[in-house]
Structure 1
Amino acid sequence: MLDTIAIDKPRAYAPRVTAFTRVFWDALRDGQFRTTRCDACNAHTFPPKPFCPHCWSRDVRWTELFGRGTLYSATTVHAAPAAFRELAPYRVGIVDLEEGLRIAVALWGDGPFALDSPVEIVVLAHADGPLFAARAASSGD
């Protein structure tokens, strides 16, 4: 179960939820980080997809991710797009998850965010729905 951080504001740019991605967003709201995994070639895919981009099989299923990884890259955005301007400056990064996926993610908290440091995914429970971010892993993780 992922830690949840309550945020008493709507998301700056709400994601488009489809019939397929509703599984992901509902699970995230409940503290689970899920994606799809191909039964034909065993590859995980993120973001979740109704087909495997590795072997093109449609034999995919939902699976839970641990939500732990290593920070591969990070930057601070100062010149933000209009939808995110009020959040600037904000930090984003690339995280290598334990399952072998590399994902782009917002970085939450004051860090430290040293490259190759352990991070964990958290749920940002906004007033209008969930998002996810990575923060420096708690001690002992």
Structure 2
Amino acid sequence: MSDAAQMPAMPRLPMAGTRPYPPAQSSFTSAFWRGLDEGRFMATHCTACDRLSFPPKPFCPHCWLRSVQWRAIEPRGVVYSATTIHAAPKVFGAEAPYQVGIIDLRAGLRIATRLLGDTPTARLLDREVELAVLTYEDGPLFAARLIDPL
């Protein structure tokens, strides 16, 4: 699926309060955050070398040209690696323990994100996940959750 109209909308999960560590936003990255708020996961796509990149950049990190466009990508993938954070930074202390992982998205990107749920990390590897929009009072974030929890 490459057409944004055919992409499945990301599930929206309401979260209490404000984001624990709001992301820095710029005029360039505002398209990503707007798309996320609308349920689309956006990456930058280079029209010169036809490669995707994430996090979004105003230039292609593969060929260094500035011929990038925004593209909605399929918000599904597989867990490549995962760990549980027990000793969290102060700003995330109330959420500990929590899980984070590296996800290989179907679109060919590898991203780091929070993993929702409490499945033991050894049972997360190679499992299918979907990205979800976490809707906080002050804006969205994203995380991954298992498609087929045990």
Deviation string 1:22-78 (CA, Å, 9 cap, x unpaired) is: 000011011110010000111100011000001001000000011000000000001
Q: Which residue of 1 aligns with 2:5?
A: none
Of 77, 94, 111, the residue aligned with 1:103 is 111
Shift of 1:110: 3.3
SS in 1 for 2:10: coil
Does residue 43 of the first structure (1) align with residue 51 of the second (2)? yes
Task: Say whether residues 1:114 and 2:147 are aligned partners.
Answer: no
Question: What is aligned with 2:16?
Answer: 8
Match of 1:18 in 2: 26
CA deviation digits over 1:105-136, x for unaligned, max 9? 00012347520010000000011100000000
Question: What is the distance in 2 between the residues matched to 1:30 and 1:111?
Answer: 28
- CA distance in structure 1 between the aligned counterparts of 2:137 and 2:118, rounded to whole angstroms: 22
1:85 aligns with 2:93: yes
Q: C-alpha distance in 2, partners of 1:87/1:69?
A: 25
**Deviation digits for residues 68-99 of structure 1, max 9, x if unmatched?**
00000000001111211111111000000001
Unaligned segments of structure 1, at least 5 residues? none
Q: Which residue of 2 aligns with 1:123?
A: 133
1:59 matches 2:74: no
Root mean square deviation, CA, Å: 1.3
Q: TM-score, normalised by structure 1?
A: 0.94
The amino acid that maps onto 1:5 is L
Amino acid at match of 2:78: T
With structure 2 as the length reference, what TM-score do the two structures score? 0.89
Distance 1:93 1:26 in 2: 24
Structure 2 gap ranges (5+): 1-8
